[in-house]
Amino acid sequence: MSGRPEYKADMIVADIVNANPKASEVLESFGLRCSKCAVAWSETLQQGLAPHGIEVDLVLDKLNHEAPKGEGQASKEDSP
């Protein structure tokens, strides 16, 4: 384990999408357009994947590898 924060199956989809700009790309690679979905604000990743028949562990592995949580965002010091 790398020690950096990781995505979890019980995270709200919108929180995942907001954690790293690349997260949307990762989800779209599985055919999911979560950033455009109205239920992204109320469903967990596991709940959102279930109707699509996509294994949550596959998505989590790719998210944690390709779109690490917190990377790609402006830091608070960069904000006006």
> Using one digit for the tens of pLDDT, what is the confidence trace for 25-35?
999 999 988 77
Measure Cα distances from 27 to 21, 36, 37, 43, 80 in Å: 11, 11, 12, 14, 30
**Mean pLDDT of the residues in the chain:** 84
Mean pLDDT, residues 54-61 taken together? 96
The domain spans of the chain are: 13-68
Residue 20 in this model has a pLDDT that exceeds 70? yes
pLDDT at residue 34 in the model: 77
Measure Cα distances from 12 to 2, 55, 77, 80 in Å: 22, 16, 26, 28
Contacts of 66 (CB under 8 A, 6+ apart): 22, 25, 26
Residues 66, 57 contacting (CB under 8 angstroms): no
